[in-house]
């Protein structure tokens, strides 16, 4: 989204939120000449949603966490994501795969499944007798670019601009994909009947007349 001028970051002030805050402050320095960052933290949820509703072209939102607001009220992760995305007239990007499908557009999302898979592969090597010290560190993140088709359509974002091999959920299923087994079975049956017709026709033609 090259027209982006401001990134509004939704974050809370829990222990995890503070850790994310420090990381964002560090990373933001590399974009200082490209976009401005606005941290929306330590707010009552009603005020947060009100501020998000006033965003306009050139703005995007990065949703990290909003587990607790400034009034000490706790909120469910899915509910927070849905309320935040529902209030924002601009795309909301995320950091965690469990928020995908609850209104965020997507992003390079932390995948518990992929991280667990990578850890499981290491465990199998240890069970197989390999010394843990001989297992190389995984420097390449198992996280992946993931996006929600319905949100891409909502904001008219061309899918060809997404990173290669991105996962896209909620993509409409074509009639062929739904009925693939029946279509292939029908084609195979038709071809078999065709072969039978050819076979019996040749047999009939080769039978001598009385």
pLDDT at 188: 80
Please give the average per-residue pLDDT across 114-142, as a whole number. Answer: 82
pLDDT band at 187 (very low <50, low <70, confident <90, very high): confident
Number of domains in the chain: 2
Residues 27, 96 within the same domain? yes
| 179 has a pLDDT exceeding 80 | no
- pLDDT, tens only, 194-208: 777 777 777 766 655
Q: What is the CATH number of the domain that holds 111?
A: 3.40.50
Q: What is the mean pLDDT of residues 155-175?
A: 88
Which residue do the tokens 């587990």 mark? 67
Q: Is residue 1 part of a domain?
A: no
166, 188 contact by CB (below 8 A): no
* Residues 32 and 132 both lie in one domain: yes
When pLDDT is cut at 50, 70 and 90, the band that residue 147 belongs to is: very high
What's the half-sphere exposure (Cβ side, CA atoms, 13 Å) at 153? 8
Asked whether residue 196 is assigned to any structural domain, the reply reads: yes
Same domain, yes or no, for 36 and 71?
yes
Question: Is residue 56 in a domain?
Answer: yes
Do 147 and 53 fall into the same domain?
A: yes
pLDDT in tens, 8-51: 999 998 898 899 899 988 988 888 889 999 999 999 999 999 99
> Which residue, 47, 45, 42, 49, is CA-closest to 88?
49
201 and 110 in one domain? no
Could you tell me which of 40, 44, 39, 41 has the C-alpha nearest to residue 69?
A: 44
Helix residue spans in 74-179 (DSSP H): 77-87, 112-127, 149-154, 175-178
Sign of dihedral through CA atoms 58, 64, 70, 74? Answer: positive
Q: Based on the domain organization, do 45 and 80 belong to the same domain? A: yes
> Quick one: tokens of 73?
């009220």
pLDDT given for residue 207 in this prediction: 58
Residues 200, 141 within the same domain: no
The residue ranges of DSSP E strands in the chain, in sequence order, are 6-10, 36-40, 59-63, 92-94, 106-109, 144-148, 167-169
Strand order in the sheet with 59-63: 36-40, 6-10, 59-63, 92-94, 106-109, 144-148, 167-169
Residue closest to 156 by CA, chosen among 100, 91, 86, 63: 91
Residues 37 and 120 both lie in one domain: yes
Q: Identify the pLDDT of residue 41.
A: 92
Report pLDDT digits (tens) over 80-101.
999 999 999 999 999 999 999 9
pTM of the entire predicted model: 0.74
Q: Does 105 lie in the same domain as 181?
A: no
If asked whether residues 190 and 133 sit together in one domain, one would say no
Domain range holding 131? 6-173
Q: Does 89 lie in the same domain as 151?
A: yes
């Amino acid at each position: 989204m090259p027209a982006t001028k401001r990134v509004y970051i939704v974050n809370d002030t829990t222990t995890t939120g503070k850790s994310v805050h420090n990381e964002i402050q560090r990373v933001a320095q590399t974009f200082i000449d490209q976009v401005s960052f606005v941290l929306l933290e330590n707010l009552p949820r009603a005020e947060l949603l009100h501020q998000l509703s006033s965003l306009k072209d050139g703005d995007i939102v990065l949703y990290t966490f909003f587990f607790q607001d400034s009034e000490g009220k706790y909120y469910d992760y899915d509910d927070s994501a849905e309320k935040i995305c529902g209030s924002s007239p601009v795309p909301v990007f995320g950091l965690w795969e469990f928020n995908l499908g609850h209104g965020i557009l997507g992003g390079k999302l932390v995948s518990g499944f992929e991280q667990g898979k990578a850890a499981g592969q290491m465990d199998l090597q240890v069970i197989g007798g390999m010394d843990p010290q001989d297992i190389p560190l995984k420097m390449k993140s198992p996280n992946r670019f993931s996006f929600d088709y319905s949100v891409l359509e909502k904001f008219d974002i061309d899918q060809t601009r997404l990173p290669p091999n991105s996962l896209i959920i909620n993509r409409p299923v074509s009639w062929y994909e739904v009925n693939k087994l029946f279509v292939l079975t029908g084609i195979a049956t038709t071809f078999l009947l065709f072969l039978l017709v050819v076979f019996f026709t040749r047999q009939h033609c080769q039978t001598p007349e009385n």
